[in-house]
A and B are shown apart, each in its own frame.
Chain A
């Protein structure tokens, strides 16, 4: 009996969740970045927080296949929750973070109960509607949110009572990096679990998932809630590290932008946000300094190139090149 080859196949399949050496790269870069760019730590902290937001979008878009144009709703709910607490004497970042996560998760659960009964483009429209409605609510509820002027009077205390947010953004950088790391651990655990695998099944073919006995709605609602909570955590990070919350945090614009960043990096790969968000934000920062008038044009051009020549985003492109090299080596 030849048991060798099939064991090999099963073993390869069973190994997929193991950590790959390359997965250390983002964390290495984050540490190195701290020392290499001491003048850019504030931007760095924003990039890290936005990456967490992008990761939450990848969970619903890349894995579960839910196309959303309203994820900033949850980001905004998180930002306003943390901001509101900080403006009312509860400026401990960890408390703000936990409250924001819970609040955004709750809003995700409630809106998901309605949205996820729809399919395809209807879902897209409904996510957009939820975002617009929440933004308008925030605009009108001036006593809580400060309306169009933004939230006033945030007093953020030191992290754990020990690390004060400094002008250089050192604390903000590390704080954002640690929260991003926790979010990554959660996301990575999820996508390699049977639950996460079943989400890819839903993305690939909902009809068949029903036919193999999957409670599709429950699965989608679960990931939508988790993702919303994660987006809320990202919102709290931005609020506490910048000390600002304004209406644009909850906008459809921002929802679309984060989608663009994640697609730019590559969806459904867990690391799309880690590539797309920094590249986009750094490009934005650079272009706007080199060419203050037309910088948006250059960003647009970059995106057109990606969409035309690298459908899988930057990571998809790297993957393709890598596979070609491998094939050539085999010959």
Chain B
């Protein structure tokens, strides 16, 4: 049995009569390249919120690296190596790109609560942040406020902030959403080059991106897992085609 970086057991979430998560048993292997797909309203983002702790489940468990974290706050789960990006950018728009990433790295190192020593004296943190920006190809905009950047580049900052947390599990919520198709390639390149020690879960609509990046795919429909398998299996599955009725599922 492979080791699981992230696991959910019988995870349920109800809003009144609406079940956005229904008995979800999901496993993300260490170093996985896994995609979570499903039609609109399937509960993909709710699943992410349940895993990160932004939403409390009605029942069931979330495990990180074998430890039950269901009762831990978002912040504590982050400390255990869980990071995410958002479908719609959640950035510190008025702050510079470098500051955005520095905030995450400072928090990870655990001295973000220090109120005596100037932040600028922590040179190593700033250098680490800058190196990360270089890796993602946005170092030339380090000192510009995020809100002045083109949307595609903001998407890269979105990923950079999450990477600043040095995650073991990274949830990417539609990483290329809203990006002009010409620039999506850069984002895919960045994701492809992520270290093998990071377990990736990509929530995505764009099938090209899914089939290019994912080695396993889980299909979520109405809050429940419909099927899980390799891209070939999913692409050939008649039930998946049925769910996507009209939306073409192509694969190579």
B99 touches A211 (CB 8 A): no
Q: Is A194 an interface residue (CB 8 A)?
A: yes
Q: Is A196 an interface residue (CB 8 A)?
A: yes
A212 touches B139 (CB 8 A): no
Could you say which residues of chain B place their CB within 8 Å of the CB of A201?
92, 95, 103
Q: Which of A29-37, A45-53, A185-193 contacts B (4 or more CB under 8 A)?
A: A185-193
Q: Is A25 an interface residue (CB 8 A)?
A: no
CB distance from B112 to the nearest CB of A (A): 5
Q: Which of A12-20, A124-132, A133-141, A253-261 contacts B (4 or more CB under 8 A)?
A: A12-20
Known: A10-B123, A205-B91, A210-B54. A198 touches B106 (CB 8 A): yes
Query: Which among A9, A195, A213 is the interface contact of B142 at CB below 8 angstroms?
Result: A9
**How many Å lie between the Cα of A14 and that of B121 in the bound state?**
6
Q: Is B20 an interface residue (CB 8 A)?
A: no
A205 touches B92 (CB 8 A): yes
**How many Å lie between the Cα of A211 and that of B127 in the bound state?**
22
Q: Which of B58-66, B74-82, B229-237 contacts A (4 or more CB under 8 A)?
A: B74-82
Q: Is A23 an interface residue (CB 8 A)?
A: no
B107 touches A212 (CB 8 A): yes
A205 touches B90 (CB 8 A): yes
Q: Is A242 an interface residue (CB 8 A)?
A: no
B120 touches A15 (CB 8 A): yes
Could you say which residues of chain A place their CB within 8 Å of the CB of B93?
204-205
**How many Å lie between the Cα of A195 and that of B117 in the bound state?**
9
Q: Is B242 an interface residue (CB 8 A)?
A: no
A9 touches B98 (CB 8 A): yes
**Chain B, Cβ-Cβ closest to A195:** B115
**How many Å lie between the Cα of A100 and that of B99 in the bound state?**
36
**Chain B, Cβ-Cβ closest to A197:** B119
Q: Is B180 an interface residue (CB 8 A)?
A: no
Q: Is A200 an interface residue (CB 8 A)?
A: yes
**Chain B, Cβ-Cβ closest to A196:** B115
Could you say which residues of chain A place their CB within 8 Å of the CB of B103?
197-198, 201, 209, 212
Q: Is B130 an interface residue (CB 8 A)?
A: yes
A204 touches B115 (CB 8 A): no
Q: Is B221 an interface residue (CB 8 A)?
A: no
A13 touches B126 (CB 8 A): yes
Q: Is A214 an interface residue (CB 8 A)?
A: yes
Q: Is A117 an interface residue (CB 8 A)?
A: no
Query: Which among A6, A15, A194, A218 is the interface contact of B111 at CB below 8 angstroms?
Result: A194
B143 touches A13 (CB 8 A): yes
Q: Is A219 an interface residue (CB 8 A)?
A: yes
Q: Is B136 an interface residue (CB 8 A)?
A: no
**How many Å lie between the Cα of A17 and that of B139 in the bound state?**
22
A194 touches B119 (CB 8 A): yes
A192 touches B83 (CB 8 A): no
Grouping DSSP codes into helix (H, G, I), strand (E, B) and loop, the A interface class, with mixed when no group exceeds half, is helix
Could you say which residues of chain B place their CB within 8 Å of the CB of A204?
91-95
B111, B118, B121 interface centre (most CB from chain A within 10 Å): B118
B119 touches A214 (CB 8 A): no
**Chain A, Cβ-Cβ closest to B105:** A212
Q: Is B241 an interface residue (CB 8 A)?
A: no
Q: Is B247 an interface residue (CB 8 A)?
A: no
Q: Is B134 an interface residue (CB 8 A)?
A: yes
Query: Which among A13, A14, A197 is the interface contact of B106 at CB below 8 angstroms?
Result: A197
B119 touches A213 (CB 8 A): no
Could you say which residues of chain A place their CB within 8 Å of the CB of B165?
212-213
Chain B, residues 139-182, CB within 8 Å of chain A (1/0): the string is 10011000000000000000001101100000000000000000
Could you say which residues of chain A place their CB within 8 Å of the CB of B86?
207-208, 211
Known: A6-B139, A9-B143, A194-B119. A211 touches B113 (CB 8 A): no
B75, B99, B104 interface centre (most CB from chain A within 10 Å): B75
Could you say which residues of chain B place their CB within 8 Å of the CB of A161?
none
Known: A189-B116, A195-B113. A211 touches B90 (CB 8 A): yes
Q: Is A300 an interface residue (CB 8 A)?
A: no
CB distance from B105 to the nearest CB of A (A): 9
Q: Is A292 an interface residue (CB 8 A)?
A: no
Query: Which among A6, A193, A198 is the interface contact of B116 at CB below 8 angstroms?
Result: A193
Could you say which residues of chain A place their CB within 8 Å of the CB of B107?
198, 212-214
Could you say which residues of chain A place their CB within 8 Å of the CB of B99?
13, 197
Could you say which residues of chain B place their CB within 8 Å of the CB of A215?
73, 75, 113
Query: Which among A16, A198, A211, A214 is the interface contact of B83 at CB below 8 angstroms?
Result: A211
CB distance from A14 to the nearest CB of B (A): 4
18 further interface pairs, Cβ-Cβ under 8 Å (given A194-B111, A198-B106): A10-B130, A18-B120, A193-B114, A194-B106, A194-B119, A198-B103, A198-B113, A200-B95, A204-B94, A205-B91, A208-B86, A210-B54, A210-B75, A211-B78, A211-B86, A214-B75, A214-B107, A215-B73
Q: Ordered nearest first, which 7 A-B pairs have the shortest CB separation?
A: A213-B78, A17-B118, A204-B92, A195-B115, A14-B120, A208-B90, A193-B115
Some 7 contacts from A to B, beta carbons below 8 A apart, are A6-B134, A189-B115, A194-B117, A204-B91, A208-B90, A212-B104, A218-B113
